[in-house]
Amino acid sequence: MSKEEFLRRLEEALSGEVPMGVIRENLIYYQNYLSQEMARGRSVNEIVAEIGEPRIIARTIIDSTEAMEEAEGADYGSAYQGSYRTDYGSGGRENDIPQIHYFDLSKWYWKLLLLAGMFLVLFLVLGIINGILALFIRFAGPIMFCLLLYWLIKRRR
């Protein structure tokens, strides 16, 4: 079994059972652990024989997460809302670190930034509308005069 296969199996066993943040933390931990042990000259099979199969490790993580939720009496997963992307390597290199893309938008400063952005867009739209109306009002008199002349000339015929 390769390191990428081990991490993929662990992720599959954890998916849907624990919050994304817990999955992410554990994948990073085991990625680093496997890399360190392999740098010492051990094979992945030796390391897996020592720590156990991915599904057994996953069961332990799931059980401990459930126990923590019960002990804290809170939703442990609410802090881990967001998106992530993992990439377990390319080109068969054994020391690739997972690339994780994660945004936690539940912080107060992200909400403040979003609110400020909404006000900026609102003022920008209102400014554009104001500019269009200002141009229309500036040329409204001559346009109305031309339309009135056209209407009078057409009516006389």
| pLDDT tens figures, 90-129 | 444 444 555 565 566 777 888 899 999 999 999 999 999 9
pLDDT at 81: 44
Please, which pLDDT band fits residue 136 given cuts at 50, 70 and 90? confident
Rounded Cα–Cα distance for residues 104 and 81 (Å): 6
Residue appearing with tokens 């909400």: 111
| pLDDT tens figures, 33-56 | 999 989 999 998 888 888 888 899
Please, which pLDDT band fits residue 145 given cuts at 50, 70 and 90? very high
pLDDT at 100: 61
Rounded Cα–Cα distance for residues 70 and 63 (Å): 11
Residue 130 has pLDDT above 50, yes or no: yes
Mapping DSSP to helix (H, G, I), strand (E, B) and coil, where does residue 17 land? coil
Residue 83 has pLDDT above 90, yes or no: no
Looking at the chain, the whole-number percentage of residues with pLDDT higher than 70 is: 78
- Judge whether 25 and 80 are in contact, CB under 8 Å: no
Rounded Cα–Cα distance for residues 5 and 93 (Å): 13
Residue 79 has pLDDT above 60, yes or no: no
Residue 84, exposed/middle/buried by CB under 10 A (0-12, 13-18, 19+)? Answer: middle
Mean pLDDT, all residues of the chain: 81
Q: Which DSSP category does 74 fall into?
A: S
- Judge whether 26 and 14 are in contact, CB under 8 Å: yes
The least confident of 25-29, 46-50, 74-78, 99-103 is 74-78
